[in-house]
Chain A
Amino acid sequence: MLPINNHHGIVIPLDRANVDTDAIIPKQFLKSIKKSGFGPNLFDEWRYLDHGEPDTNPKKRDLNPEFILNKDNYREGTILLARENFGCGSSREHAPWALLDFGIRVILAPSFADIFYGNCFKNGILPIQINEQMTDLFFKKALSESGLKLTIDLENQLIIDDNEKYNFKVDVFKKYCLIQGLDDIGLTLENKEDIKGFEIKYYNQYPWLK
């Protein structure tokens, strides 16, 4: 997994609530059996004016000039800012894969859907919950002519906007894995004997599950 610690980038203001995983990556692109290559189809139905299929060449498609990712100021953005309940809907990890493949490393929103939130950490994306006030402030700045660039310091759990610093919360274990770029399967397997011991007791007590 791609580790993340200090990140500096342009903020893309996606001014919508309840952005669902079908919007992040429409279903026709879920048929891939790989984890990469989803970036060109991130937000496909909003980003393009025509209908896309997995074999359509994204370079030959009509971009929707109104969509935020297509505006010059935000094309190079790596920090996505959105409204509440970001990532609701399905458990598909294709959603964070598409965001990462596009280049998004940090997502700021007042709230996230649970499964999506967990999936981000497994893929080197840092989702940060910010309060409504901060959300409004960041939207205002990001939508202004000069735009908004932020530095995210994961180690110290800080969002840095020029001279302003804001704290954010993150689970200790998830933070550790993200900074180290660790695969948690390896960590769990360090407890192999615990799992085996558990199984003996467990199946003794619940023999019908064996």
Chain B
Amino acid sequence: MALTLYEKIFNRHVVREENGTYLVYIDRHLIHEVTSPQAFEGLRIANRKIWRSSSILAVPDHNVPTTDREKGILDPVSKIQVDTLDENCKKNKLMQFQMNDKRQGIVHVIGPEQGSTLPGMTIVCGDSHTSTHGAFGALAIGIGTSEVEHVLATQCLILKKFKTMLVNVDGILGDYVSAKDIALHIIGQIGTAGGTGYAIEFAGAAIKNLSMEGRMTLCNMAIEAGSRAGLVSVDDKTIDYLKGRPFSPFGKNWEKAVEDWRGLVSDQGAKFDKVINIEASTIEPQVTWGTSPEMVCGINDKIPNPLDEENLSNQKGYQRALDYMGLKKGTRIKDIELDKIFIGSCTNSRIEDLRKAADIVKSKRVAMNIKQALVVPGSGLVKRQAEDEGLDKIFINAGFEWREPGCSMCLAMNADRLEPHERCASTSNRNFEGRQGQGGRTHLVSPEMAAAAAIYGKFVDLRGDRDVTNK
């Protein structure tokens, strides 16, 4: 029978099944400081042991400061959480990259970077953006703290099968249109609940053409479409990316693994519960204008009129979003002026993202109205590579701040945040009310769009404003 990639991975991990409820074996468990302390505490209280310590890789990322690391963590509450992770890892002899380790970074950046994320794996983490790792042909899902405890104690999760959705993106992306724009465009089409209950496989020529970084960005945002898992089939790019990484298999095991991984593609004729086709050339650079990622439009569009929505609940929701965002219907996206720029997060903080942004800001200056422009690399290794390539100088010379790796202003659990009513062009993943700081106003965009917004002080269409680029 022809199987989808999702079914292939799911099937090889089934320990047992009863009435459609499956006990599913987990290969990799990624852990960070926010969603794990109560799970370790639960184990202790029940006097349970960790089933397979070698499956775990831990790193602090949500709370860590992005400046003056040598001073430690100044916020005492954040410090307790990071210290608790240190203690739990030490006590249980778990592999952890501590805050000052050069390999430290955002959990969804370091997993693939270390070769800790491999095709065919089941991967979990107490973080919804775990979907990121699906870019490698893995089944990667975000879980809650109770499930973190369950995986620690049993190496398994109790799951139902997801339905399957194929999002086929054919054709060629336009200039300055990236994986982030594909993701936002899809969410704009199907809505933030459109993928609920589904595992989404992204396929088609435009996906094949994406780099591994681009595929990670896309799968990362699957959760913003409501889907716990995004997937991309394995190809040469997947295998080339993983070769020689610290945790990747080597020698004979590498050969065996590659042979197996080549089969991690959806079979010809495999049936999906839902199929969506998108032509890549129709995707415009995207900008969100509201407080949900589905409130999104193209750079050349105007803010919609809530009254154009058919359903009353949507009308109210749109109006509430516009009030919160301080925007009016009919305003051109290009006329929105910004206060801050954030380039970072598990969505867009990898080397390719930084290269693309640097290419746009090179020899330019951040606009006068921009109070702060941050670049927060996804990991210590991304940071170092960027510095080796001279990207840090480009950003600093343009007026950006070059920070230490972490989640930073994506969710503002550390000191990096928006003040009330500040408006930010952000490469992160959520534009919820208060997400980047109470009263803060977030516009989600690609790294290219954020970089250009920093230079112009407002959103611009790079395809029309060639003078801001180096082309």
Q: Are A111 and B193 in contact (CB under 8 A)?
A: yes
A84 to B78, CA, bound (A): 33
Most chain A Cβ neighbours within 10 Å, of B62, B75, B196, B253: B196
B158–A184 touching, CB < 8 Å:
yes
| Interface-side segment among A3-11, A89-97, A150-158 | A89-97
Please give, as numbers and ranges, the residues of chain A lying within 8 Å of B413 by CB-CB distance.
27-28, 30-31
- Does the CB pair B256–A207 fall under 8 Å? yes
- Residue in A23, A115, A199 with the greatest tally of chain B CB atoms within 10 Å: A115
Q: What residues of chain A lie closer than 8 Å to B432, measured between beta carbons?
A: 20, 22-23, 89
B428 at the interface (CB under 8 A from A): no
**A122 to B62 alpha-carbon distance, docked (Å):** 24
**CB-CB contacts below 8 Å: B427-441 with A:** 430, 432-435, 438
In the bound assembly, the distance between CA atoms of A184 and B275 in angstroms comes to 35
CB-based contact A33/B15 at 8 Å: no
Binary A-proximity of B405-419 (CB < 8 A = 1, otherwise 0): 000000111000000
Contact B430 A30, beta carbon cutoff 8 Å: no
A contact residues around B23 at 8 Å (CB): 188, 191, 194-195
Q: Are B193 and A84 in contact (CB under 8 A)?
A: yes
The interface stretch among B105-113, B143-151, B396-404 is B143-151
Task: Check B155 for interface membership: any CB of A closer than 8 A.
Answer: yes
**B38: interface (CB < 8 Å):** yes
**Cβ of B448 under 8 Å from chain A:** no
Q: Produce 1/0 per residue, B427-462, CB < 8 A to A.
A: 000101111001000000000000000000000000
Closest CB in chain A relative to B151 CB, distance in Å: 10
Pairwise interchain contact B19-A115, C-beta atoms closer than 8 A? no
* Residues B434 and A31 in contact, CB atoms below 8 Å apart: no
Instruction: State whether the Cβ of A45 lies closer than 8 Å to any Cβ in chain B.
Output: yes
Question: Closest B-chain residue to A189, C-beta based?
Answer: B154
* Residue in A45, A122, A207 whose CB lies within 8 Å of B433: A45
| Cross-chain contact of A119 among B118, B144, B438 (Cβ < 8 A) | B144
CB of B348 within 8 Å of the partner chain: no
Contacts A33-B37, A189-B153, A195-B155 given; does A91 touch B143 at CB 8 Å: yes
Please state if B317 and A18 are interface contacts (CB–CB under 8 Å). yes
A208: contacting residue among B62, B128, B147, B249, CB under 8 A: B249
Interchain CB contact under 8 A, A185 and B430: no
Q: Are B313 and A22 in contact (CB-based, < 8 A)?
A: no
A112 to B438, CA, bound (A): 25
Q: A45-B434, A91-B126 are in contact. Are A185 and B34 (CB under 8 A)?
A: no
Q: Do A208 and B257 form a contact, CB below 8 Å, given A114-B196, A184-B150?
A: yes
Q: Do B226 and A92 touch across chains, with their CB atoms under 8 A apart?
A: no
Q: Say whether A90 contacts B196, CB under 8 Å.
A: no
- Asked if B118 contacts A209 (CB within 8 A), the reply is yes
Query: Hey, what's the 0/1 contact readout for A30-69 against B, CB within 8 Å counting as 1?
Result: 1111110000000001000001001000000000000000
Q: List 6 A-B contacts (CB under 8 A).
A: A118-B144, A184-B158, A188-B154, A199-B155, A206-B120, A208-B257
Binding site for A on B (CB under 8 A): 12, 15-16, 18-19, 21, 23, 25, 27, 34-35, 37-38, 41, 46, 48, 51, 62-63, 75, 77-78, 80-81, 84, 118, 120-121, 126-128, 130, 142-147, 149-150, 153-156, 158, 160, 192-193, 196-197, 226, 228, 249, 253-254, 256-257, 260, 292, 313-314, 316-317, 320, 411-413, 430, 432-435, 438
Interface residues of A (CB under 8 A from B): 15-18, 20, 22-23, 26-28, 30-35, 45, 51, 54, 83-85, 88-93, 96, 111-115, 118-119, 122-123, 171-173, 183-185, 188-189, 191, 194-195, 198-199, 202, 206-209
